[in-house]
Structure 1
Amino acid sequence: MKKKEEERKKQIMKAAYNAVSTLGYDNVTLQDIADYANVSKGVVHYYFKSKQNILSELLESITNQIYSYEIEAVNQHQNAIDKLKAYLDAVFISPPKNKKFYSVYLDFLAQANGNEEYKKINLNFYENCWNIGQEIVELGIREGVFNEELDSLTTAKMMRAIIDGSLIQWLTSNEEGLHQYYKDACMKSILKLLN
């Protein structure tokens, strides 16, 4: 029974992600989420108290999935440069996936100012990202490939700022073909920061 409930909850969360990515955060309703999940609104209410409840869980779920994917990719490599490349490959996953994630994520960020729960989830996501960056920076310093005077936390924060800034610029350029350009420019900028 529990497995079936978990599957149903996942189905609703996936529907919420698709609904927000298509309709936008402000426009999506519980009925839209139910329609995307092919269930009744009552079924959605059974698993989630409110639209806010679904969307909070959605933000936490998608940021945790992104982090898990990134850390798994990074952990498959031994040296700092390979870890950095794997990190960027994991972040710049594909134009459709990046477009969907950043469209939804930016909608959530626009709400975060008045929502303490979103702020907390977002800070947790960034702390996870900074940990990945710090690990890469500290390893690169030990290997002698990055500037030994770098502060690893500050550098990790700037790395993520460059990554997200690059992807947001790519998204707003509305040119899918520039995805690789922004990924390459991002890598060059990060390497400059590290040297």
Structure 2
Amino acid sequence: MNNKAEKRREQILRAAFQAVSEKGFHSVTLQDIADYADVSKGVTSYYFQNKEDVFRHLLEWVTEKIYKNEHAAISKEHTAPDKLRAYVHAAFANPSDNRKFYRVYLEFLAQANHNEQFRDTNDRFYENCWSIGREIIQLGQKEGTFANVDIDKASYTIRALIDGSLIQWLMQNNDQLHTFYRDNCLETLSNYLTNKNNQNSN
């Protein structure tokens, strides 16, 4: 695919992302996506087979973008605690971006039960998220800064706490709580990985 076609496809996917975040999965039509992209419905149909094809590529595009941003953030740091902080801060990008992503993401999760392609894309996203967690934990154990926790279980826990915190923040509908949830998430993960809670209880 040439560069012009790739840019046009991304333009349509960005428009679909905005449309779903504002209108919801079921309400959005192919014409809505075209209108948001400021192109004709025919142009949208040229690049994608139908609405479901747009949504399948949208989920792939947005989750891959999230993963790349988060991996780039940890790659700039050298110690495990710094990588963990960078991971959490990248996940808690800012209230506006987090609100849009999780509104769209929750719409997709609601459909995933009935759509194998959505489930497969989400599985790949979580495998990528868990790989970031494993990388951080393995380094922390090598440094001696993290406790000898089970690496796979801990990688699941990291992402579960990040997503759970952000979804809970989203439901609060209060941007001022964004920093609180981010800092609380990081503190909880840091205590868990360094085993501070167990040390304090002894």
**Structures share a fold, TM > 0.5?**
yes
Superposed displacement of residue 89, structure 1: 1.1
Displacement over 3 Å in runs of 4+: none
| Percent of aligned pairs sharing the same letter | 51
**Aligned residue identity for 2:173:** N
Equivalent residue for 1:112? Answer: 112
Question: What is the distance in 1 between the residues matched to 2:165 and 2:10?
Answer: 30
Q: What are the superposed Cα offsets for residues 93-123 of structure 1, whole Å, 9 maximum, x if unpaired?
A: 0000000000000100010001100110001
Q: How many residues align?
A: 194
Match of 1:168 in 2: 167
Rounded Cα–Cα distance in structure 1 between residues aligned with 2:78 and 2:156: 22
Q: TM-score, normalised by structure 1?
A: 0.97
Which structure 2 residues correspond to residues 23-172 of structure 1 after superposition, within 5 A? 23-148=23-148, 150-172=149-171
Q: Deviations over 1:43-71 (max 9, x none)?
A: 11011001000000000000000000000
Question: What residue in structure 2 maps to residue 189 of structure 1?
Answer: 188
Q: Secondary structure at the match of 2:117?
A: helix
Report deviation, 1:192.
Answer: 2.2
Deviation of the 1:138 alpha carbon: 1.0
- 2:200 is aligned to none
Question: How far did residue 5 of structure 1 move?
Answer: 1.4
Question: Within 2, Cα distance between the matches of 1:6 and 1:141?
Answer: 42
The one-letter amino acid of 2:169's match is W
Q: Deviations over 1:108-152 (max 9, x none)?
A: 00100011001100010000000000111111111111112x110
One-letter identity of the residue aligned with 2:99? K
RMSD (CA atoms):
0.9
Structure 1: runs of 5 or more not aligned: none
Once residues 166 and 66 of structure 1 are traced to their aligned partners in structure 2, the CA distance between those partners, rounded to angstroms, is 16
Deviations 1:12-42 (A, max 9, x none): 1111011111111111000000100111111
C-alpha distance in 1 between matches for 2:160 and 2:191: 14
SS at match of 1:168: helix
Q: Which runs of no fewer than 5 residues in structure 2 stay unpaired?
A: 196-202
Residue type of the partner of 1:178?
L
